[in-house]
Amino acid sequence: MGRIKKALSNRWGAYTIAAIAGVVAYMILNNLPAVSAWLSSAMSVISPIIIGAIIAYLIDLLVVFF
């Protein structure tokens, strides 16, 4: 974390990080269909975990109540 602060305090470091962020944003927008397909497949893997956590939270509320 110290290296990032030091790089941002340097003018050229801040410009470099901004340029890299711009290139990454351009690449994401340029390949938007592939990125959205990847996010869709990632969500199909993660959604059962999220649903299970919600069900566990609701059941825990019932256990504490009774």
* Percentage above 70 pLDDT, the chain: 95
According to the 3-state scheme, what is the secondary structure of 4-64? Answer: HHHHHHCHHHHHHHHHHHHHHHHHHHHCHHHHHHHHHHHHHHHHHHHHHHHHHHHHHHHHH
Residue 8 in this model has a pLDDT that exceeds 80: no
Same domain, 2 and 25: yes
Q: Are both 57 and 36 inside the same structural domain? A: yes
Provide the pLDDT for residue 49.
Answer: 97
Same domain, 36 and 15: no
Angstrom CA distances, 20 to 1, 10, 12, 16, 35, stand at 18, 16, 12, 6, 18
Query: 9 vs 37, which has greater pLDDT?
Result: 37
Co-location of 38 and 65 in the same domain? yes
Residues 47 and 59 occupy one common structural domain: yes
Tell which wins on pLDDT, 43 or 10. 43
Domain count, the chain: 2
The verdict on 20 and 44 lying in the same domain is no
Q: Are residues 38 and 60 in the same domain?
A: yes
With H, G, I as helix, E, B as strand and everything else as coil, classify residue 1: coil
Q: What is the pTM of this model?
A: 0.53
Q: What type of residue sits at position 46?
A: I
Structural domain of 45: 32-66
